[in-house]
């Protein structure tokens, strides 16, 4: 995944009440700033934590009333620390956009059309689009003259190899809302697809499980995406930390009628999933609760495992088998119990996982399969590296 190491990129992650700035030189993160909201004397304020490449952290001795102020402050901090200056100017600012519609299934350098297209997809993505728009607007005002790029979360999945991109809805509605199973976590899957080939572990039929705060599964045929679990938005597919995953659409319609569409979407995205079932969005706490015999934690854990196993089984059936399984993202890389629970259901497919098999740090991948089993790989993902590679290509093409 080589890229021009002289390029300096700022990667934005704009949440509804937080702003993260990650500064990269090539693919190396040199500094990150995290602005988050806190309650001080009954008022919302924002604090900033600075993290350097060596892992050291400090908090800026200042509070802000408005998240928009974070951009000027971020610029000042990066300049004061010597990370950006006349000799080392920014080459681009990257804003991840959760894909919806054909336009956002590709990466773009932001222009007027980008902003028009963002407004169109606000109806299906009311949670994500406002943060994206805020990030773009503030980035353009604060870092004048620096190209701002929207990085699609579906680009790596938007290939002709996909076999599951359509919905069985009336054609006029599909066209009006530009609906399709675009998928998400594309930066992670794009990185993993590249790594599988680089590491020489490509098999004909592979299933990749991206298990983090958001969870999805993708089936690869000859290293290209064939099936993926997320759809028009990341809500479709697996239950995750705060998302319902796929549920009877009637429930969504009923919630929309009761709460209004935007609030219903918020409930299903932010207040459901593990946190709704077990009161925690942290898989470690849920595992601990399940081990102590708490019924809600046991239910949440079992539903989570069943969901992933079911999706692996579905894609294996559609692809006519599976030759290797890959785990990635925070839970996938770190949780031995989750990996073991999932793989314990898949003996019949020829998989057997080693007991207590951790990921080996500092290597490209770890095979945690028993001898005689098909491979079970842990491959650490690096979404920023993939976005930076694609941004470099886009800027160079200009």
Average pLDDT, stretch 197-226? Answer: 97
What is the mean predicted confidence (pLDDT) over 143-171? 96
CA distance 232 to 252: 14
Give 262-304 pLDDT, tens digit per residue: 999 999 999 999 999 999 999 999 999 999 999 999 999 999 9
Q: Which CATH class is domain 191-383?
A: alpha beta
**How far apart (Å, rounded) are the C-alpha atoms in residues 276 and 296?**
9
Question: In sequence order, what are the residues at sequence separation of 6 or more whose Cβ sits closer than 8 angstroms to the Cβ of residue 189?
Answer: 156, 157, 208, 210, 218, 225, 228
Q: What is the pLDDT of residue 2?
A: 43
- Portions of the chain given CATH number 3.30.420.40: 8-157, 191-383
- Locate 66 and state its tokens: 């408005």
Positions marked catalytic: 153
92 within 8 A of 395, measured Cβ to Cβ: yes
CB-based contact 205:322 (threshold 8 Å): yes
Residue 27 structure tokens? 């693919």
Q: Are strands 324-328 and 205-211 parallel, antiparallel or unpaired?
A: parallel
Q: At what angle do helices 283-291 and 336-343 cross, to 10 degrees?
A: 70
Written in H, E and C, the secondary structure of the chain is CCCCCCCEEEEEEECCCEEEEEEEECCEEEEEEEEEEEEECCEEEEEEEEEECCCCEEECCCCECCCCHHHHHHHHHHHHCCCCCCCCCCCEEEEEECCCCCHHHCCEECCHHHHHHHHHHCCCCCCCHHHHHHHHHHHHHHCCCCCEEEEECCHHHCCCCCCCCCCCCCHHHHHHHCCCCCCCCHHHHHHHHHHHHHCCCCCCEEEEEEECCCEEEEEEECCEEEEECCCCCCCCCCCCCCCCCCCCHHHHHHHHHHHCHHHHHHHHHHCCHHHHHHCCCCHHHHHHHHHCCCHHHHHHHHHHHHHHHHHHHHHHHHHCCCCEEEEEHHHHHHCHHHHHHHHCCCHHHCCCECCCCCCCCCCCCEECECCCCCCEEECCCCHHHHHHHHHHHHHHHC
What tokens were used for 91? 């080459």
Q: Which residue has the tokens 């949670």?
A: 127
pLDDT for 95 beyond 70: yes
Q: Which of 363, 367, 365 is nearest to 353 (CA)?
A: 367
Instruction: Show contacts of 332-337: CB within 8 Å, 24+ apart.
Output: 332/209, 332/210, 332/211, 332/212, 332/378, 333/359, 333/378, 333/380, 333/381, 334/359, 335/211, 335/283, 335/284, 335/287, 337/287
The predicted pLDDT at position 271 comes to 96
Torsion of CA 25, 31, 37, 38, to 10 degrees: 170
Strand-strand pairing, 205-211 and 215-221 = antiparallel
pLDDT of residue 4: 43
* Closest among 397, 351, 344 to 375, alpha carbons compared: 351
Calpha distance 231→398 (Å, rounded): 31
pTM of the predicted protein model: 0.93
pLDDT value, residue 394: 94
| Residue 192 to residues 79, 284, 307, 382, Cα–Cα distance (Å) | 34, 25, 22, 8
User: Residue 334's Cα: distance from chain center in Å?
Assistant: 16
According to CATH, what is the number of the domain 8-157?
Answer: 3.30.420.40
pLDDT in the model for residue 266: 93
pLDDT tens by residue, 343-391: 999 999 999 999 888 888 878 899 999 999 999 999 999 999 999 999 9
If 0-12 CB within 10 Å is exposed, 13-18 middle and 19+ buried, where does residue 21 land? buried
Please, which pLDDT band fits residue 193 given cuts at 50, 70 and 90? very high
**pLDDT tens sequence across 9-52:** 999 987 767 889 999 998 889 999 999 988 888 888 899 999 99
Mean pLDDT of the 83-107 span: 89
């Amino acid at each position: 995944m080589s890229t021009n190491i002289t390029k300096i990129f700022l990667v934005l992650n704009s949440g509804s009440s937080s702003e993260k700035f990650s500064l990269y030189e090539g693919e190396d993160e040199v500094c990150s700033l995290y602005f988050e909201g806190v309650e001080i004397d009954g008022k919302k304020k924002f604090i900033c934590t600075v993290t350097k490449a060596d892992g050291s952290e400090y908090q800026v001795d200042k509070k802000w009333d408005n998240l928009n102020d974070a951009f000027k402050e971020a610029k000042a901090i990066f300049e004061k620390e010597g990370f950006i200056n006349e000799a080392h100017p920014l080459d681009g600012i990257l804003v991840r956009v959760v894909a919806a519609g054909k336009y956002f299934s590709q990466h773009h350098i932001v222009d007027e059309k980008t902003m028009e297209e963002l407004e169109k997809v606000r109806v299906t993505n009311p949670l994500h689009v406002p943060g994206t728009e805020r990030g773009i607007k503030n980035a353009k005002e604060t870092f004048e003259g620096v190209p701002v790029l929207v990085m699609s979360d579906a680009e790596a999945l938007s290939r002709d190899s996909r076999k599951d991109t359509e919905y069985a809805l009336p054609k006029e509605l599909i066209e009006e809302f530009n609906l399709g199973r675009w998928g998400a976590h594309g930066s992670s899957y794009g990185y993993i697809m590249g790594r599988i080939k680089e590491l020489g572990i490509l098999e004909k039929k592979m299933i990749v499980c991206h298990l983090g705060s958001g969870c999805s599964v993708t089936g690869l045929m000859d290293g290209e995406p064939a099936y993926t679990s997320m759809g028009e938005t990341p809500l479709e597919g697996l239950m995750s930390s705060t998302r319902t995953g796929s549920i009877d659409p009637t429930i969504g319609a009923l919630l929309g009628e009761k709460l209004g569409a935007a609030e219903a979407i918020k409930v299903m995205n932010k207040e459901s999933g593990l946190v709704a079932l077990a009161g925690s969005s942290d898989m470690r706490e849920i595992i601990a609760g399940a081990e102590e015999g708490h019924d809600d934690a046991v239910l949440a854990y079992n539903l989570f495992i069943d969901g992933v196993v079911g999706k692996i089984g579905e894609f294996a059936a559609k692809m006519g088998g599976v030759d290797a399984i890959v785990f990635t993202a925070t839970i996938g890389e770190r949780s031995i119990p989750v990996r073991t629970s999932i793989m314990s259901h898949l003996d019949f497919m020829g998989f057997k996982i080693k007991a207590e098999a951790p990921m080996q740090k500092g290597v490209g991948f770890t095979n945690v399969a028993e001898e005689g089993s098909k491979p079970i790989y842990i491959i650490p993902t690096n979404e920023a590296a993939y976005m930076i590679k694609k941004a470099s290509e886009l800027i160079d093409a200009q």
